[in-house]
């Protein structure tokens, strides 16, 4: 999972949001209990301007047990 998340982070920084979204969704499917890819997925949706999807993603992160302080 670490490689997928790091690659997705790189894609986000490079402005390749669609590719980052695909990588993060794959990381979440493979590691359903991981929190980091869910938070990054929310950020990617925000950068794409999809605020409702970002909100849904952050709610999912809260349900997974992420402290609310990690979600801005």
CA 20 vs CA 17, 27, 30, 63, 69: distances in Å: 5, 10, 15, 23, 24
pTM of the model: 0.83
**Tokens matching residue 39:** 């938070």
- Report whether pLDDT(68) > 80: no
pLDDT in tens, 15-61: 999 999 999 999 988 887 788 898 899 999 999 999 999 999 989 88
The predicted structure's pLDDT at residue 72: 63
Three state DSSP letters for 16-64: CHHHHHHHHHHHHHHCCCCCHHHHHHHHHHHHHCCHHHHHHHHHHHHHC
């Amino acid at each position: 999972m670490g490689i997928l998340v790091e690659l997705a982070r790189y894609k986000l920084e490079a402005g390749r949001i669609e590719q980052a979204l695909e990588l993060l969704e794959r990381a979440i499917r493979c590691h359903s209990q991981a929190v980091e890819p869910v938070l990054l997925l929310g950020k990617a949706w925000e950068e794409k301007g999809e605020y409702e999807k970002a909100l849904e993603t952050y709610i999912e992160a809260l349900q997974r047990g992420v402290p609310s302080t990690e979600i801005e």
